[in-house]
A and B are shown apart, each in its own frame.
Chain A
Amino acid sequence: MAHGTYARPGRVRFLSGVVLPALTILLSGCAGEYVQNAMDPHSDFAHTINDLFWTIIWWSIVIFILVEVLLIYAIFRFRRRPGQPLPAQVHGNTRIEIAWTLAPALILASVAVPTVQTIFDTQAPPAEENLQVRAIGHQWWWEFRYPQLDIVTANDLWLPRGRKVDIALESADVIHSFWAPKLGGKRDLVPGHVNHISLTPQVADLFWGQCAEFCGASHANMGFRVVVAEPAEFDRWVQDFKAPKPPDTTDPLAAKGAQAFITSACIGCHRIAGTPAAGVIGPDLTYFARRHTIAAGMMPNTPENLARWLRNPPAVKPGSKMPNLNLNDETVQALVAYLGSLK
């Protein structure tokens, strides 16, 4: 595993290597290859869950092996042979049956106790000294607001490493679910409710996440990235957002794009801080060029992909609320240049 401090490679390799080769593939050494691996924890929240998960898994592997071995033994050992007399007509044995009722009860109690502890540990109420983020789900993108910092962004959630963050989960339309597997479990964004997740990212890295509650046509296309930055880098990011640079007009194409942006339908939905564009329906595009993806995790943020998106959003993302604006090629290239300059 990539970050071995919390892994338990010894036990994992021993048992699974003997009994469940398939599980071995799952556990050993592959954690780094799966960008949404829920068993590769990178936050306190994710570690707590992962530890509890393995406590339960070991019990169930033991019981599974016990049942399957007894079953397979029984069907071979007690196979009917020719001329065999009628077997003893046993109807039951109350003592044995009470025993195998109590044994699972005890095992389950040993799982229930840490479960209940973990439930309360991981659902502590939010605290003011923590970094506050509001994650607002939209069909089909993510709005991230930092009320203490007065920052609004979309689809890339920036967090500092090592600081506890309280994420308030809200929805603008239907139910969504916030899930960045390496940073912890998911929780739903329910219209009319505010839910919370608290976690402390432990490693500076780029993490993948996506909506986990079916939310309509493009549910599959509602991804996001969590950028866990070193505290100093995070502070620079905050400063940049607090004082946005004016648009770069040295590139004539970009300047043309900027003009097109504020004189067209774009500003009805999008905001770019420091410009007259102040729409609130679609994603905030301030520092758009720093985003890792376009259209909520659908594609890498490249000029080609952006052009493809601008030409016909619903053709790229089924159900997209951004309509096909029938932009001509020239305008598309200008907008791509302009948005690309917002870095």
Chain B
Amino acid sequence: MTTRAMGATAAAAPAVSPYAGGVWSWITTVDHKRIAILYGVSAFVFFLLGGIEALIIRTQLAVPNNDLVTAQTYNELFTMHGTTMIFLAIMPLNAMYFNYLVPLMIGARDVAFPRLNAFSYWVFLAGALVLNWSWIAGAAPDTGWFGYANLTSPQYSPGKSVDYWLVGLQILGVSSLASAFNFIVTIVNLRAPGMRLMRMPPFVWMTLITNVLVALAFPVVTVALILLTFDRYFGTHFYIPQGGGDPVLWQHLFWVFGHPEVYILILPAFGIISEVLPTFARKPLFGYPFVILSGIGIAVLGFGVWAHHMFAVGMGPLADAIFAVTTMAIAIPTGVKIFNWLATLWGGSIAMRTPLLYGVAFIAMFTMGGLSGVHHASPPADLQQTDTYYIVAHFHYVLFGGALFALLGGFHYWFPKMTGKMLDEKLGKVVFWLALIGFNLTFFPMHMIGLLGMPRRIYTYHEELGLGGLNMASTIGAFVLMLAFLVFIWTLMKSLRSGDRAPVNPWDAPTLEWSIPSPPPAYNFAVVPTVQSRYPLWEERSQTGVTAGDGHGIHLPNPSFWPAFAAVGLLAMGAGGVSHSVPVFLTGVGIMLAGFFAWAFEPAS
């Protein structure tokens, strides 16, 4: 075929919104699309909370010797900012996309285990509540998101702040693991006929890889946290040198989890970009197998680079050399992806719509973050960079300029599908430029701030460091970012209220989710499609796509109250954990087991 139909065939959206229903319908929902929206809304709320924490941090650092907040409050703020943005914002935002898109992209009616999916969300919320309850209890975690031993030991952190952190993370780990198994099984088993592995959309591939990483990495941090729990609750000495333990053990365990965690955060962004670029360049992803294989390569190598977080720890020259080489090696598959994305744009027919703006900015910013990553892959150079603002600049270029920009681009891309409304294009571009300028103004100066000698995690700095001006610039940037997100919220509300009706396929995109109404009916596909290529809507429009049928007789799983009920049990276990109350903990265990029992024997329909 030489030409492709532009625009979209009008398909009637369902008469009643698929999202209609009261609070109870949301609590008991097992629909992957509604669960996605629950994830998205919660994550956005926590993102704003983490953003407010960041703004206070930046205001404190705007000038030398500032005393807006106390040292203690500052330490709580940066600990909770990091923990919140990683575990309560970017991971659940990724989960929103997994949930909404994976079944639609593979032509399935839901995930493999819909009730387990609901359970994952409610457990996530329970973990997030435990973590943030610490603010209300006046015992916010204050030892950094990385919680280095032996500062977390009872001797040096006698209060409950570390308990909130470790219990919160432990609960979040349950959610991540349950969700990971669900998506692995879904992607392996529920693909539409003809969708071979190498025909899967790249986003589905990256989802699969990410969730394999979660399944392999989270058990490690679970173990690390259990050992810490033993040290804090039962007087063991796994990480306490006076008792024969070793604080470096924590660092190894934490980063064996923590480095794959970086890829857990960024690989979904790679997937989103690999969907957005082809659509707006009207050209297939350049070198699809290379992009997929480099994703797998990153995941595999990602387990062999953890100690590059520890070059200052004194592991000895041999270990430093080995981890330097593995870390540099991981830059190769990452570089491959960047070149493949460039080649996807090259020779295309590029429409500069908002999703693509974010896609282009992602490539530009992520390249920057990737290259500064190579600077600290070299241990001697890293000895001047680690634990300074240079690192803060680096990972914000990866996680904000990278992951978050991709998530925002994906949001503009899939918003019409999720809501049936187009997102305001003009305002979307205003937000984009504000975010791009604000982001660079905030984080570019941090490269210099770090190399000029400012360590991380300090609540104050001397005027003599000469870094007042650069810090002020960075703080101004943070407020530009705040403005960007205020306009974003306004855009969101305006578009939800009065946005244009979204057609089935507003972008002439090639993947299956664009073949069904916007928003999709509860059953997704009236007739399960048959797939014959990577770009079914471009290459075989006649065979698939909008298919007749009204969804009568399609079996859908019943709503269930028990996943949320079981999650309440975990919340109670967490409450018992932080309050050191055995009865409360055991009550939680009882509630959780009762929930599982009722769930297991619930009638199927």
Give A contacts to B, CB under 8 Å. 22, 25-26, 33-39, 48-50, 52-53, 56-57, 60, 63-64, 67-68, 70-71, 74-75, 78-81, 84-94, 96-97, 100-101, 104-105, 108, 111-112, 115-116, 118-120, 122-123, 139, 169, 173-175, 177, 179, 181, 184-188, 190-193, 195-196, 208, 210-221, 223, 297, 318-319
Contacts and interface: CB of A to CB of B under 8 A. Distances in A.
Contact of A177 (B288, B312, B321, B374): B312
A87 B348 contact: yes
A186 B380 CA distance: 9
Interface stretch (B15-23, B36-44, B132-140, B444-452): B444-452
Contacts of A75: 345, 350, 352, 360
Given A91-B286, A175-B150, A35 B378 contact: no
B335 A119 contact: no
A334 to B, nearest CB: 29
B558 interface: no
B10 interface: no
Pairs A-B, 3 closest by C-beta atoms: A185-B383, A36-B453, A192-B241
B320 interface: yes
Contact of A214 (B148, B281, B324, B360): B148
Given A38-B384, A87-B281, A108 B328 contact: yes
Contacts of A79: 350, 352
Contact of A318 (B72, B281, B317): B72
A80 B351 contact: yes
B375 A119 contact: no
A38 B448 CA distance: 10
Contact of B465 (A35, A56, A64, A96): A35
Given A78-B345, A115-B321, A219-B75, 16 more contacts: A26-B452, A36-B453, A36-B465, A38-B451, A64-B367, A67-B363, A78-B349, A87-B348, A88-B347, A174-B148, A174-B156, A175-B148, A175-B151, A184-B384, A190-B248, A214-B148
Contact of A87 (B71, B282, B454): B282
B313 interface: yes
Nearest to B1: A86
Contact of A100 (B289, B339, B464): B339
Contact of B371 (A33, A64, A100, A217): A64
B288 A37 contact: no
B286 A67 contact: no
Nearest to B455: A212
Contacts of A48: 380
B464 A60 contact: no
A118 B380 contact: yes
Interface in B461-491: 461-462, 464-467
Contacts of A319: 71-72
Given A60-B372, A80-B350, A92-B286, A217 B453 contact: no
Contacts of B336: 97, 100-101, 104
B387 A22 contact: no
Contact of A119 (B2, B321, B364): B321
A181 B340 CA distance: 39
B4 interface: yes
B547 interface: no
Contacts of A174: 148, 150-151, 156, 247
A92 B287 CA distance: 4
B324 A112 contact: yes
A35 B283 contact: no
Interface in B351-390: 351-352, 360, 363-364, 367-368, 371-372, 374-375, 377-388
A295 B461 CA distance: 14
B287 A93 contact: yes
Contacts of A36: 452-454, 465
A74 B407 CA distance: 23
B255 to A, nearest CB: 14
Interface string B169-200: 00000000000000000000000000000000
A26 B151 contact: no
A318 B453 contact: no
B492 interface: no
A318 B1 CA distance: 72
B342 interface: yes
A210 B378 CA distance: 22
A37 B452 contact: yes
B582 to A, nearest CB: 30
A179 B455 contact: yes
B288 A91 contact: yes
Interface residues of B, number: 95
Contact of A115 (B4, B247, B329, B380): B380
Contacts, number: 288
Contacts of A219: 75, 457-458
B374 A111 contact: yes
12 contacts: A39-B451, A56-B378, A80-B349, A96-B343, A97-B287, A108-B329, A120-B321, A139-B156, A174-B247, A175-B148, A210-B458, A318-B71
A34 B331 contact: no
Given A75-B360, A86-B282, A211 B455 contact: yes
B9 interface: no
B71 A217 contact: yes
B316 interface: yes
A23 B378 CA distance: 21
Contacts of B283: 87-90
B380 A119 contact: yes
Contact of A78 (B286, B320, B339, B346): B346
B426 interface: no
A318 B455 contact: no
Interface in B368-422: 368, 371-372, 374-375, 377-388
Contacts of A186: 312, 383-384, 386-387
B321 A187 contact: no
B143 interface: yes
Contacts of B455: 179, 210-212
A173 B284 contact: no
B456 interface: yes
Given A119-B320, A185-B383, A218-B71, A90 B284 contact: yes
B131 to A, nearest CB: 19
B284 A89 contact: yes
Given A52-B378, A86-B282, A119-B380, A214 B151 contact: yes
Contacts of B151: 174-175, 214-216
Contacts of A100: 335-336, 339
A286 B334 CA distance: 56
Nearest to A123: B317
Contacts of A26: 448, 451-452
Contacts of A223: 462
A104 B384 contact: no
Given A116-B321, A119-B324, A193 B314 contact: yes
Contacts of B338: 67
A216 B161 CA distance: 13
Nearest to A223: B462
B540 interface: no
Contact of B378 (A80, A111, A169): A111
Contact of B314 (A37, A80, A111, A190): A190
B349 A192 contact: no
Contact of B71 (A33, A181, A220): A220
A81 B282 CA distance: 12
Nearest to B329: A108
Given A120-B317, A217-B71, A208 B464 contact: yes
Contacts of B462: 35, 223, 297
A67 to B, nearest CB: 5
B512 to A, nearest CB: 19
